[in-house]
Structure 1
Amino acid sequence: MAVNGRPVIDSPAADTPSAAAPFYRAVGDEVEVFRAAARRGLPVLLKGPTGCGKTRFVEAMAHELGKELVTVAGHEDMTSADLVGRFLLRGGETIWVDGPLTRAVRDGAICYLDEIVEARQDTTVVIHPLADHRRELPLDRLGTTLPAAPGFQLVISYNPGYQSVLKNIKESTRQRFVAIELDFPPADIETEIVAHEAGIDGETAGTLVTLGRAIRSLDGSPLREVSSTRMLILAGGLVAEGLSLRSAVRAAVVRVLSDDPDVVRALGELADAVLPQ
């Protein structure tokens, strides 16, 4: 479905099997690019700030394509065994247990490696044979190589504005992927998203979006992260539960963005200026 020329991935009637479809409002051509990549079995790299909708986008595309989604959150202690699998002792026997990446390769699922650069670089090398023409996963501990089942697709994401120079995707990895760049949506689309996800009226959602955009545009901001669409949805959810708009903003936005008393006070003053009296 499309609204004003933009694809919308949404839930049909509640009594249909696809009633739980994730809501996603496209901003550019990301849906079309992902569909094309999926048809060719090409891996996809998602770039964008925290809370802009990268995970929701993958969830929506997996649902649309009718594929299982296996999600793995990257962290600095992640090893290749965490992705591929390991031998474990069970009932006095040593058995092999597939990791999430191996399960996705076997089942033809989408494997989403979120914030992949948080993992060690020697860990991410394991995805190279999956991300090029070979489409296979070496299982060194089993002495075999596992070909990807039809339908398997690898998706990774990272936040280029947040990661340090020491934590970036190697060129040898990056050049294997089709890149989709996501960002916070325009105000009208973000308002629609916040209203839909939080279950609040458009006017309240619009006020939250206005505040979010004001925080994002602060000159010389000391904030490491800005107010994301996710944060605005959380604030809207508190409003939907009966909390006042000011209390919701302070709990879900102002106090979350910083622990510095001066910054918190300044953000509170900005919120007071934007929110209706």
Structure 2
Amino acid sequence: MSYKGKYLLLYVNVLNDIRDIMYHSLENQNGSKSETCSPNCIDNVHEETVVKAIIRPFQKRNDERELEGYSDSSREASSQEEYNFFLATLNLDAHLASSLVCEFSIFPKFRKRFFRYVKRNFNFNHCIAVFPGNCSKTETQHTNLNQYNEVKEKLVDFVIEIIPIYPKQKVDYAWTYRIGGQTVKKMLLEEAFAWFSTLGGAYSSLGDHFLSFAEQAGKIAMKQLKIAEEEGDPVLACKVKLFFAQSLMQRGYIVESGRILRTQYKFAKSLIVQDTKLLTMCRALRKRWKYVKNNAISNS
């Protein structure tokens, strides 16, 4: 008996646990248009046969509740006497297996080339799954696949089983403790900065009418500056200095606030990856500074 490929199936076997099977059609290999196949385009009878022949042997055979929950199509598949397929098992590194499955699920050309590579470098064993009643029993026959390449008579599936090999993992406890402390510290600093931003914004909004609130907003900005320097974030420190310049502006220190605004605007423009929000803050405060300066000159 000679065989021709119908579907290429690929799955990952992790400790006898198979979650999903990916499909690719092999019937249109010689055509001009490559056919991409998913489980939705496979008929229910064929899919249930594949599930019963491949996945079921790895599950508990005495779980009769699952067997009773089969659909009519699965009962029709169970009535078949046998299911022929060719199986190749690949032991791959877990990272390589993950990348391979991702590429297989996206690119049809990769599926065909990967199938040709496996045929050249690995052995496909002829497997026959027999369904006596509601159970499945798989028999493996070691055959040479090359003898089936000339005459094409019967359609069968080619199954590639990937068994991931996980490298030995070493837990670096010293680095975990070190980075864990830094993470907690950064979380606390960001929380404190958020509270100061909310409180400082409230004081700053009232600083246009009350001098004491403007002074309090400046003190909060200095506390935020300490947090920004503790985190080592120059962009955050630049924003805090803009807050402090606004406080100076509200208290009548026009020259000092203008000097801070010019310095921080140059810093924002010198960044390799420019922060649009920071530039917008600089331009907005610059316009406000000009407005306050003109009012101060006209009043004097």
Do Structure 1 and Structure 2 share a fold, with TM-score over 0.5?
Answer: no
- TM superposition score normalised by structure 1: 0.21
- TM superposition score normalised by structure 2: 0.20
